[in-house]
């Protein structure tokens, strides 16, 4: 099944198609509320990925996280990386800062390694 569209419009249709195929589990916040992320991550089997959107998910898990733009341009959410390799998606860090890998912008960046330990 192919789903196409412009922008974020097709995202739910694609996620639902992937769920029907058994490749993902979609858990809409509007239907079930906020997830217990600590429990979800602890229960995840090896090889599984848990995707959770930036600062809001960390706040829901009880962490205090500063943010403003949530687009990777202001730098307010800059967080020290203790272990792992970040996937920098911000528009703020220089190439040399990205190569050092010791900080990341929580609002848009992700992990390139199986785990990423942050100084929260």
pTM of the model: 0.58
Tokens of 84: 């792992």
pLDDT at 91 over 90: yes
Q: Is 67 helix (H, G, I), strand (E, B) or coil?
A: coil
Q: Which domains does the chain have, with CATH numbers?
A: 56-118 (3.10.20.30)
Task: Output the pLDDT for position 32.
Answer: 77
| pLDDT cut 70: percent of the chain above it | 82
Task: Output the pLDDT for position 8.
Answer: 53
pLDDT at 3 over 50: no
pLDDT at 99 over 70: yes
């Amino acid at each position: 099944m192919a789903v196409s569209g412009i922008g974020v419009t097709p995202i739910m249709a694609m996620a639902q198609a992937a769920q029907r195929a058994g490749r993902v589990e979609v858990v809409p916040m509007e239907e079930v509320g906020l997830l217990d992320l600590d429990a979800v991550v602890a229960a995840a089997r090896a090889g599984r990925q848990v995707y959770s959107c930036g600062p809001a998910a960390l706040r829901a898990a009880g962490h205090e996280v500063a943010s403003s733009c949530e687009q990777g341009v202001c730098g307010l959410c800059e967080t020290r990386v203790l272990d792992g390799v970040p996937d920098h998606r911000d528009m703020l860090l220089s190439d040399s800062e990205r190569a050092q890998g010791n900080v990341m912008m929580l609002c848009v960046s992700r992990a390139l390694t199986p785990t990423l330990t942050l100084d929260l």
